[in-house]
Amino acid sequence: MKKTFKALLPAFLILLIMNNSVAENHENPLLKPFNTLHQTAPFEEIKNEHYLPAFKITIEEARAEIQQVIDNKEKPGFENTVVAMDKAGQRLGTIRKVFFNLNSAETNDEIQKIAQEVAPMLAEFSNDISLNKDLFERVKVVYNQKDKLKLDAEQQTLLEKSYLGFVRNGANLTEEQKVRYREISAELSKLSLKFSENVLAETNAFEMLITDEADLSGLPGFAKEAAAHAAKSKGKEGWLFTLQFPSFGPFIKYADSRELREKIYRAFTTKANKGNEYDNNELIKKIVDLKHERANLLGYDSHADFQLERRMAETQERVLEFLDDLHKASRPVAEKDFAEVTEFAKELGFTGKIQRWDWTYYSEKLKNARYGFNEEEVKPYFKLENVIDGVFGLAKTLYGIELKENKDIQVYHPDVLAYEVFDESGKFLSVLYMDFFPREGKRSGAWMTSFRDQHLKDGKDVRPHVSIVTNFTKPTDTTPSLLTFEEVTTFLHEFGHGLHGMLSKCQYSGTSGTSVFWDFVELPSQIHENWAYEKEWLDLFAVHYETGEKIPAELIEKIVAAKNFQSGYMSERQLSFGMLDMAYHVLTEPLSEKPAELEAKAMAPTELFDPVEGSMMSTAFSHIFAGGYAAGYYSYKWAEVLDADAFAAFKENGIFDKETADSFRENILEKGGSEHPMLLYKRFRGQEPTVDALLERSGLK
């Protein structure tokens, strides 16, 4: 039976929904207006039992709002159709953001269970829109007269995005095909959630308790203290190490015990590949096959063809050529890097063949020997609070914005800090949440997200609520949070994403902030990492947490000198992930081999080590199986080309040059996805980017 909004929503039902909604408002904080400062989410009032009723009610409200667009008796126009659709379902969108952001940053068994129930409901609702023939006809009428409508650039972008959103989500399918499309969408939504849940469960399941202090040999003081604190927090004696990166990373890098390095390495790299209830191999096959089938339904040979149609790269051939070109430039340098570490390990008395759990250990020792650079020497100058001051100060210098903590803004966990963001004139720009430390309810890694996107509503600029989530080194009973240099660059990276959201100056939610082509979204994040290597910036905030001494010039010189250490190896490693991603998604037939077999072949061109039985990237590769990076992981390297070229403009004019910063803000950060990214980039840079700046910066040229 054909499913339409009219069939679902006769007038009496719409009234009933609205009445029920009013009744529920008295009990459910998600359904009341957020009477908080800046209308932020009232986290302290929200309970798990509020989510499901709120989703059910607001999904039906959104249906009613879409139905109003369909029933509009006026001739289809840009405002009454395209803009009306962009505005529809805002309450649902708010609840969706709150719930799924917490499912990533502060989840539990109950939230995960709700997510599994809600995901197919949302997929069905989304399909009810994209597969609605009457709604698509209205959009098509507007799209077919786009050249006569005198739309500005952002309006043209929104119209094209809306029209292609229907086409690329099945609007032109037969009724029989639409039924199958719905089934695929619902199943993918559940499988992706399950994949992520399995990775988190496997991460939390491993603990390595050390009771003999001799086994801590080689570990710096900060790592031992953090491990002792972790053990104590769980009522255990000794030193506790986990697969959370602030724990795993220092152990694999510094621990002298090769046996224990191997143990924790194998645990880290076999996540969701143990044949147990959390194994992701079968999920990978299902996800890959369903995405392939969906692409075929829509008329594409592969999922990569489907995805790349709306990317700067445009085609899989161009992506594969891009990855191969960088591989050719990186491989000789990577082999040299590998040989150097192997030889250095032998000089230190290592016999046999270097294995993956040896690499970081000996690589770090070589870096220390060559540049005098070691993490323990650097960390005391990167107290988290000082780094916050440095990053916020950089934003003020470049873009004139100021961030002020406000403890009256409700947060979802005691660790979370909330800030108000203001421009130079004191005008409010955004709320920013900062969630720094790992915990069992938070997935690993670092990311930026939002609880509310910037847009115009009734002529008023609705400002965004942005969140940055990381898993940085936690403070202990005696030591504050001291960041590694890598964590400092991660902070700058995610804050760059945050600036893209916070400084947005667009008309519509569908074009604002980070709503850009996937291979453009990393430019604002990656360009800001460059300041981590600039003495002028480090001098402004990096002081010893105990003595207050400014970071020594010679230490900064070591940081800069070590910048391209193992750059060939690191480039090959990143390229291997992009190659693996593409290998899954260029398939034109269902996945016929085991994921481990496909992975081994895909990553073979970049491989330097012997394989380790049971170790897999794929089963924990949440970026492509539970995130939005399928056929898009190459975008990190793609954006490196953009950011190296863009930062060259700052280097030419001065790293704090206001005119250059203003241009980057006005042409990139404020514009969101309002125009094609290459047009925006050329307005800032005056030309298209070339790979030369990246090769030179990385020491690959």
The DSSP line for 562-614 is TTTTTHHHHHHHHHHHHHHHHHHHS-SS---S-HHHHHHHHHGGG--S---TT
Q: Where are the alpha helices (DSSP H) in 29-174?
A: 51-71, 84-87, 90-105, 109-130, 133-144, 153-167
Q: Give yes or no: 494 in active site.
A: yes
- DSSP tag of 381: G
- DSSP tag of 75: P
Note whether 645 and 694 are within 8 A (CB).
Answer: yes
How far from chain centre, in Å, is Cα 299?
29
- The owner of tokens 């009734």 is 458
Q: How far apart are CA 285 and CA 151, in angstroms?
A: 44
Q: Residue type at 137? A: E
Pairing outcome for strands 402-405 and 417-422: antiparallel
Q: How far apart are CA 512 and CA 450, in angstroms?
A: 12
Structure tokens at 566: 């193992």
Burial class (CB in 10 A: 0-12, 13-18, 19+), 284: buried
The DSSP line for 622-681 is HHHHTSS-TTTTTHHHHHHHHHHHHHHHHHHH-TT-HHHHHHHIIIIITTTTSS-HHHHH
> Which member of 494, 572, 599, 670 is catalytic?
494
The DSSP line for 187-231 is HHHHHHHHHHHHHHHHHHH-EEEE--GGGGTT--HHHHHHHHHHH
Note whether 105 and 451 are within 8 A (CB).
Answer: no
Q: Is 108 helix (H, G, I), strand (E, B) or coil?
A: coil
**How big is the chain by its Cα radius of gyration, in Å?**
26
Nearest to 623 by CA among 591, 582, 669: 582
Contacts of 160 (CB under 8 A, 6+ apart): 143, 146
Q: Is 313 helix (H, G, I), strand (E, B) or coil?
A: coil
The CA–CA distances, whole Å, from 573 to 5, 239, 492, 579, 697 equal 49, 31, 22, 10, 17
Pairing outcome for strands 207-210 and 428-435: unpaired
- DSSP tag of 701: -
Note whether 92 and 31 are within 8 A (CB).
Answer: no
- DSSP tag of 79: I
Structure tokens at 206: 């491993």
SS3 content of the chain, % helix, strand, coil (to 5): 60, 5, 35
Note whether 114 and 451 are within 8 A (CB).
Answer: no
- The owner of tokens 């990978």 is 284
The CA–CA distances, whole Å, from 166 to 161, 204, 260, 670 equal 9, 40, 53, 27
Instruction: Provide φ and ψ at 356, rounded to 5°.
Output: -60, -35
- Which residues are identified as catalytic? 494
